[in-house]
Chains A and B, each alone.
Chain A
Amino acid sequence: MTRVAVTLNVMRNAFRAGLADYRAIFTWKSWLAGWYLRVIAQVAFFALIGERLEDDEKTMYLLVGNSIMIAAVVGVFSLNMTTSERGAGTLPLLVASPSSPVVVFSARGAYLAVDGALSALAALAVAGPMFGVSLPWPDVLAVVPLTGLVAVASYCFGTFLAGLVFRFRSVNNLVVVTTHVSLMAACGVNVPLSFYPEPLEWLSRLLPLTNGLLGIRGVFGGADPTTILGDAALEAAVAVAWMTVALATFNRLAARGRRDGSLEFAS
């Protein structure tokens, strides 16, 4: 097998293992009753604020922003990977295997991107009509790949963060929550980017969600396809950039774990 074929085989098996793991956690029933209801409740909560303000535009803004936010929320959960591997006692085994842990991680949690995109789209499909938001057909189809891009970019960002928390298991949950809240605050979910000072607006553009969400709002607002494609390209670039940073830093962080002895064996 060539080096590329070997790497792809590692990623394929890592994805399969991740998917099997996920399917052991969720059945269709538990996904609908345990997860999807929570998603609808979260989106409805923010949309209701728009309703209380009796402003259809704000309702639309909050509903779309918070629906797509779900894709980012689930994608960023990928940063739990190192902690769950550590908890299972498999992290040192991964490090000691002939495959790079970051290659494994890049695929092992990829189901999160699929789950995130599906959850976000399902939220939009159900909560939209609930709040009288019309989904323009067939333009709304463009929202599907854009949401997928947001989920993938968030997953890549989460994988980068997984490297950062590699040695600091205790702060994992704090980083997850802080990331979710920061993305919600800074990426134009509830507040337009123009609300913030220009430097912060540019900083937001480097984060996942921002550009993809702008593109999706553009679809709903009937924006020029070139503008939407530009936003999509930026979201894709953000995804590639964060995965590149993850690849570049992860092995170095694992090497630091080898030095300071933070890669504990099972006990």
Chain B
Amino acid sequence: MPDAVEVEDVTRVFEPRKKKDERVVALDEVSLTIPEGEIHGLLGPNGAGKTTLVKILSTVLLPTSGRARVCGHDVVEETKAVRPLIGIVFGGERGLYWRLTGRQNLEYWGALYRLPPAAVRERTRTLLERVGLADRADQRVEQYSRGMKQRLHLARGLIGDAKVLFLDEPTTGMDPIAGREFRTLIGELKGEGRTILLATHDMVEAETVCDRVTLIDRGKIIATESPRSLGHVISRFQRVDVEGAPEPVLGRIAALEGVSAVTRTEDGGARIEVSEEGATAEVLRRLVDAGVTSVRTSLPSLEEVYVQLIGERGLEV
């Protein structure tokens, strides 16, 4: 059985349309495979190439070179085979017909996905119930809250019974409760065996729902791992939490090569952040020599990994 998504050395270059514009390499020989049933996060700052990759996989943009397949079908040559298998879900306010009701939106897209009229009606009803919009189904979308619009987006992406869903920053601008509900829905979709590619800035979202994440920056893939094990990719960025360490000892540790920061915590302890391979061992030796025994080392969270690998620029989103 082929992987749900296969990306092989895909490059996309945007040539300048005007003299003042610059040539942009949005994707640079990107390779990625996503097995069936996986929720795969695509993490990166603005301009990293996330949306470009999603656009290529959803057949609205051609790669400059390389190949990409969805469920074994080439996204350039076999668009007719790919399109019924995919669903696209945007974040934000666009992508819906605001003057139509939620039901009318879904019925319209259902017809475009070539479903028979009876199946469109049934699936529309089921999806509206599933995303909690059954009571507001006949209200115009312009009267929906942001969270409701987002749920309708998801229902629209599912109207064709997509095997592979591309979610492009789907929780942008949603409040925390709506975001959590949305993530629960995404988790349910995995239970149905659907494959999901989730392009996001949201670390919590990626950590909560994704089986694996790919970090991408400036069109290049930096790492692909499960959110928990991604910390090992940058194991040199460890942190050491200590209790009862005397101030002079901490001062000497702060001066060590490979120690990037030493900060006092509210409970009187301290956190030592290490940014070079081998420095952790030296920090631990100095602490033990000083008689400090309450010591704990840990790997960074996904957010810390993101910041370390992509840099502070990545937070400017």
Contact = CB atoms under 8 A, between A and B. Distances in A.
Interface of A: 1, 6, 9-10, 12-14, 16-17, 20-21, 24-25, 88-90, 92-99, 104, 257-261, 263, 265-267
Contacts of B110: 13
Contact of A21 (B86, B94, B100, B111): B100
Interface residues of B, number: 44
Nearest to B113: A98
Interface stretch (B32-40, B101-109, B185-193, B228-236): B101-109
B62 A259 contact: yes
B54 A265 contact: yes
Contacts of A14: 108, 111-112
Contacts of A95: 59-60
Interface in B249-274: none
Contacts of B59: 95-96, 258
B207 to A, nearest CB: 25
Contact of B100 (A24, A89, A98, A263): A24
Given A93-B156, A98-B84, A265-B51, 15 more contacts: A9-B114, A10-B111, A14-B112, A17-B97, A21-B100, A24-B100, A90-B94, A97-B109, A98-B113, A98-B114, A98-B160, A260-B17, A263-B60, A266-B90, A266-B95
Nearest to A87: B94
Contacts of A261: 12, 14, 55, 61
B54 A98 contact: no
Interface in B110-133: 110-114, 116-117, 120
Nearest to B91: A266
B284 interface: no
A98 B88 CA distance: 13
B99 A1 contact: no
A10 to B, nearest CB: 5
B275 to A, nearest CB: 35
Contacts of A96: 58-60, 83, 86, 88
A104 B111 CA distance: 10
Nearest to B14: A261
A9 B116 contact: yes
Looking at chain B's contact residues, is the secondary structure mostly helix, strand, loop, or mixed?
mixed
Contacts of B111: 9-10, 12-14, 99
B112 A90 contact: no
Contacts of A266: 90-95
Contacts of A97: 83, 109, 112-113, 160
A263 B58 CA distance: 12
Interface string B56-75: 00111110000000000000
A163 to B, nearest CB: 17
B114 A99 contact: yes
Interface in B151-207: 156, 160, 168
Contacts of B86: 96
Contact of A20 (B17, B55, B91, B104): B104
Given A261-B61, A263-B61, A93 B80 contact: no
Contact of B55 (A1, A12, A94, A265): A265
A94 to B, nearest CB: 7
B99 A20 contact: yes
B112 A99 contact: yes
Contacts of A258: 59-62
A6 to B, nearest CB: 5
A265 B169 CA distance: 11
B98 interface: yes
A1 B140 contact: no
Contacts of B83: 96-98
A210 B110 CA distance: 39
A1 B113 CA distance: 13
Contacts of A104: 112
Contacts of B88: 92-93, 96
Contacts of B156: 93
B96 interface: yes
Contacts of B109: 93, 97
A242 B244 CA distance: 83
Contacts of B114: 1, 6, 9-10, 98-99
